[in-house]
Amino acid sequence: MNYKASETRYQAMPYRRVGRSGLKLPAISLGLWHNFGENRAYEASRNMVLSAFDAGITHFDLANNYGPPPGAAESTFGRVLAKDLKPYRDEMIISSKAGWEMWPGPYGEWGSRKYLMASLDQSLQRMGLDYVDIFYSHRPDPDTPLEETMSALDAMVRQGKALYVGISSYSAEQTREASHILKALGTPCLIHQPSYSMFDRWIEDGLCDVLSEEGIGSIAFCPLAQGLLTSRYLNGIPADSRAAASDNPFLTTDKVELRIAQVKALNQIAQSRGQTLAQMALAWALLKVTSVIIGASQVTQIQENILAVQNLAFDEAELQAIELILKA
């Protein structure tokens, strides 16, 4: 059956302006970091992408190394785009990145012009696109001059292969310098993609101020702390959970046990707001950033998380209660 997008897709999702640009992003974006590669049946990945679009999620966040294996998520998304979403291309924001290891040898990672330009060409081929809407330098390179990395981003825009460019995981000072270089080149930095959640608040120590001063938007990855800020661990660590997996370096049983008292206390506040813990955590992150990136392994997770936009306001008592819990 041919896909036809929901006619009500724009009724509930708020769209927020990115910095001082003309672009708007949905408050909630879908990231294809995991569960969209060869580890997942194609139809399951397709259903998640289409369900997200039907719910007003117009921004799909990818990178060259997303999979598994690297490149697979872009290939999967390219199939969905060709089969179902091609008529809606102009309604979508598609982003990709490069910076982490993608292929062997000295030109397969970091921030050289050689690597970034080659990676973008490969990403466009995998997705069947002429251009991406946003292309990011995925991480700062300590050995490549920042001018080289930023000039590569500028060249992508001038070549018509990217409409906007951004950076990810750059410090406050690196962000300010990158922004100044790009402005001088005539291609402003649109957006910064940092990690940010109730348990990971590093951007509040300087980066938020730089973004505001430079007119740069922001989009947070891992706003749910790898699933810790959900109901998943309220009653222990499930055997099939991410934390229980022996090969997962991001969320371990030790990290869950360290935070579980805070998670339970935060859940009580979420319940008083009529939200799940995940919904409240997303709403809280949106106080500081333009958009948040959610991951998903099933459609129901997307449907639950987008309900966060129904209550994005916090009163002062709620914010103070959350602060007390986070500082405990």
Rounded Cα gap, residues 222 and 31, in angstroms: 10
Buried b (16+ CB within 10 A) or exposed e, 93-119: bbbbbbbbebeeeeebbbbbeebbbbb
For helices 42-54 and 72-80, the axis angle rounded to 10 degrees is: 60
Rounded Cα gap, residues 94 and 83, in angstroms: 16
How crowded is residue 131: how many other Cβ atoms within 10 Å of its Cβ? Answer: 15
Can you count the helices (H) and strands (E) in the chain? 10, 10
The β-bridge partners of 218 are 192
**For residue 222, which of 277, 293, 270 has the smallest C-alpha distance?**
293
Q: What is the pLDDT of residue 240?
A: 61
Delineate the domains of the chain, giving CATH numbers in brackets.
Answer: 15-225+288-311 (3.20.20.100)
Cβ-in-10-Å burial (0-12, 13-18, 19+) of 189 comes to buried
Look at strands 217-220 and 132-137 and give their pairing: unpaired
Residue 185 CA, chain-centre distance (Å), reads: 26
Residue type, 286: L
Rounded Cα gap, residues 287 and 266, in angstroms: 17
Residue type, 219: I
How crowded is residue 47: how many other Cβ atoms within 10 Å of its Cβ? Answer: 15
CB 165 within 8 A of CB 157: yes
Q: What is the pLDDT of residue 150?
A: 99
Rounded to the nearest 10 degrees, how much is the dihedral formed by the CA atoms of 211, 213, 215, 218? 10
Tokens encoding 49: 């992408």
**For residue 148, which of 175, 178, 179, 112 has the smallest C-alpha distance?**
112
Rounded Cα gap, residues 285 and 163, in angstroms: 26
**For residue 29, which of 311, 302, 326 has the smallest C-alpha distance?**
302
Q: What is the pLDDT of residue 19?
A: 98
Give the three-state DSSP class for 225: helix
Q: What is the pLDDT of residue 211?
A: 98
pLDDT digit string (tens) for the chain, length 328 residues: 699 999 999 999 999 999 999 999 999 999 999 899 999 999 999 999 999 999 999 999 999 999 999 999 999 999 999 999 999 999 999 999 999 999 999 999 999 999 999 999 999 999 999 999 999 999 999 999 999 999 999 999 999 999 999 999 999 999 999 999 999 999 999 999 999 999 999 999 999 999 999 999 999 999 999 999 999 888 877 656 665 565 666 677 777 888 999 999 999 999 999 999 999 999 999 999 999 999 999 999 999 999 999 999 999 999 999 999 999 8
| E strands, the chain, in order | 15-17, 24-26, 28-31, 59-61, 93-98, 132-137, 162-168, 189-193, 217-220, 291-294
